Structures are given as structure tokens and as C-alpha cells.
């Protein structure tokens, strides 16, 4: 064994405990967070899941006989929900592209990317249901309020994901383009976007799937679509009809998932 290899082994041995301490610290932080939140989250009520299982089973039994007599109406309302999700996602992608670039620390100075990030934090922190309530007051009941709620909230999410993808790019292509005298816009178009486009497409398709589910919830507060019909049937104790609507929702989300996976394989 040479002196050089001995020195290398000694350095490696000195660095070995670091990952273990990091792992232990992470585990300790996780355990501490779980212990801290146990009481406020009322996790001590978990036995009720078993002691009240009979009541839950009796309630759920009303959903065991789905009634599809109005399936055409349910399907048409589900299509409205999907259309709300499509438009909300499309508009958010358009706005997330510039905001994702402006929020990236390697693309803009701090006095630009920090305010852009804080604005996206605001969009992301407020739930789409709250935005839907605000837009229902502004534009009235109906699908457009749901579109705008998804648009604002999803922009905050996608802009963050887009900016993180931009910050992880290889800077060498951008530098090579810069040496040719290209403008800032040309550097972004030809040096940045080709590197992040596959990730951007993947993020957008995932958010489309999520927005189909979110649009269902928005219907409960009057934003149109299948959610409004579902809320009315449950409130009226029409459990067989509610069960049929839930089945339509699950099947629609599954179809959207299959379509999204197919698009990912072909595009990315």
C-alpha cells in the first residue's frame, strides 16, 4: 500500500461519519416534529376508527347500490369539470413560464426574483377554494369562477417548479450562446428552455390531473361541474346517486391519468 493510498483512505475515513450524523439529525427532526404535532392534530383519537366502525359501515352501506339512471347528465357535468381543469391549467402554464424564469436565482437579480417568488408564494399559499369563493362573488356562480381559481393557485405551484428546473440547468450552453452576442431573450429561448422543457411538460401534465380532482371540489361552492351535483345529492341523502357520481369521477380521473402517461412517453 502506497503512502498516497493510505492518505486517501484516512481522508475517506474522516468523512464517513458525516452522512450518518446527517441522517440521525434528520430522523431526530422528524421524530420531534411528529411528537410536537401529535396533540394538536388529535392523533390520540385513532381508536375511534375502530370503536365507531359500525356507524361508518352503516353510513357507507348507502353507497353500495349506485344508481346510474342519470348517467348522461353525470357524464356531461364531468366533462364540464374536465374543461374547467384544462383551461385553468393552460392559463397557469402560460403565466408560469415568465414567472418561473423571473423566480430563478440564476436568471434574474435578487431585486426581481425575490418579489416574483413572494408573489408566487401568495398564489400558492391560498387554497383554490378560497380563490373560488372570491371569484364567485366577482363573476357569479359557474365554471368561469372555477377556471380563475385554478389558474391563480396553479400558477403559484407551477412557477415554483419551473424556477427550480431553471436553477438546475447546465450553465455551459447558456454561456456558449452568450459569447455569440445573443440577447438575454435569445439565451433563454435557445439555452434554457430546451433543457427544462421535458420537466415543464411533465409538471404541467401532472397539474392537469390534479386540477381535475380540484375542479370537482370547487363545484361544491358553486363553481360548476360534477362537484355541485355531488354536493346536492349528498345533502339530499341520495346516496345511490352520489355513489354513481363518485364512480364517474374515479373513472374520469383514471382515464386522464392514462392519457397523461401516454403523452409523457411520447413527448418527453
* Residuewise pLDDT in 10s, the chain (268 residues): 454 444 445 445 445 445 577 888 888 999 999 999 998 988 888 787 777 666 667 667 777 888 888 889 999 999 999 999 999 999 999 999 999 999 998 888 889 989 999 999 999 999 999 999 999 888 888 899 999 999 999 999 999 999 999 999 988 988 898 888 888 888 888 999 999 998 999 899 989 988 998 898 888 888 888 988 888 888 888 888 999 999 999 999 888 888 888 887 777 6
Domain that holds residue 207: 73-267
Does any domain span residue 175?
A: yes
14 part of a folded domain: no
For 144, residues 6+ apart whose C-beta sits below 8 A from its C-beta are 135
Q: In this structure, are residues 162 and 101 in contact, taking their beta carbons and an 8 Å threshold?
A: yes
Check if the beta carbon of residue 103 is closer than 8 Å to that of residue 117: yes
| Predicted local confidence at residue 19, as pLDDT | 57
Q: Is residue 66 part of a domain?
A: no
What is the structure's pLDDT at 111? 92
Specify the DSSP class assigned to residue 236: T
User: How far apart are the C-alpha atoms of 94 and 254, rounded to whole Å?
Assistant: 26
Please give the pLDDT value at position 67.
86
Look up the pTM and report it.
0.80
Residue 155 resides in a domain = yes
Note whether residue 100 is domain-resident. yes
Looking at the structure of the chain, the number of domains it has is: 1
Q: What is the pLDDT of residue 22?
A: 81
Give me the pLDDT at residue 149, please: 94
The reply to whether 164 falls in a domain is yes
The verdict on residue 227 lying in a domain is: yes
- The CATH number of the domain holding residue 88 is 1.10.3720.10
Coil/strand/helix, residue 183? coil
Per the structure block, which three cell numbers stand in for 54? 359500525
The answer to whether position 68 is within a domain reads no
Q: Contact, 229 vs 79, CB < 8 A? A: no
Distance in angstroms (rounded) separating the CA atoms of residues 61 and 206: 33
CA dist 92 and 207 (Å) reads 10
Amino acid at each position: 500500500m502506497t503512502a498516497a493510498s493510505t492518505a486517501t483512505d484516512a481522508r475517506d475515513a474522516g468523512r464517513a461519519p458525516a452522512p450518518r450524523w446527517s441522517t440521525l439529525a434528520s430522523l431526530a427532526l422528524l421524530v420531534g416534529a411528529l411528537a410536537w404535532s401529535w396533540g394538536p392534530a388529535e392523533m390520540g383519537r385513532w381508536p375511534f376508527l375502530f370503536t365507531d366502525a359500525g356507524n361508518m359501515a352503516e353510513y357507507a352501506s348507502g353507497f353500495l347500490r349506485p344508481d346510474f339512471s342519470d348517467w348522461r347528465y353525470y357524464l356531461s357535468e364531468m366533462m364540464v369539470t374536465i374543461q374547467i381543469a384544462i383551461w385553468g391549467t393552460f392559463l397557469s402554464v402560460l403565466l408560469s413560464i415568465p414567472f418561473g424564469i423571473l423566480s430563478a436565482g440564476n436568471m434574474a437579480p435578487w431585486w426581481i426574483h425575490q418579489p416574483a417568488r413572494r408573489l408566487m408564494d401568495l398564489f400558492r399559499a391560498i387554497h383554490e377554494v378560497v380563490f373560488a369563493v372570491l371569484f364567485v362573488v366577482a363573476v357569479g356562480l359557474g365554471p368561469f369562477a372555477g377556471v380563475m381559481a385554478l389558474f391563480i393557485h396553479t400558477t403559484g405551484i407551477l412557477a415554483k417548479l419551473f424556477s427550480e428546473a431553471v436553477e438546475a440547468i447546465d450553465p455551459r450552453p447558456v454561456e456558449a450562446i452568450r459569447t455569440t452576442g445573443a440577447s438575454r431573450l435569445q439565451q433563454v429561448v435557445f439555452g434554457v428552455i430546451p433543457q427544462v422543457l421535458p420537466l415543464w411538460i411533465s409538471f404541467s401534465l401532472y397539474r392537469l390531473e390534479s386540477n381535475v380532482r380540484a375542479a370537482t371540489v370547487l363545484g361544491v361552492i358553486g363553481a360548476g361541474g360534477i362537484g355541485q351535483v355531488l354536493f346536492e345529492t349528498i345533502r339530499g341523502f341520495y346516496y345511490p346517486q352520489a355513489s354513481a357520481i363518485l364512480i364517474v369521477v374515479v373513472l374520469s380521473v383514471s382515464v386522464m391519468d392514462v392519457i397523461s402517461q401516454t403523452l409523457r412517453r411520447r413527448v418527453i
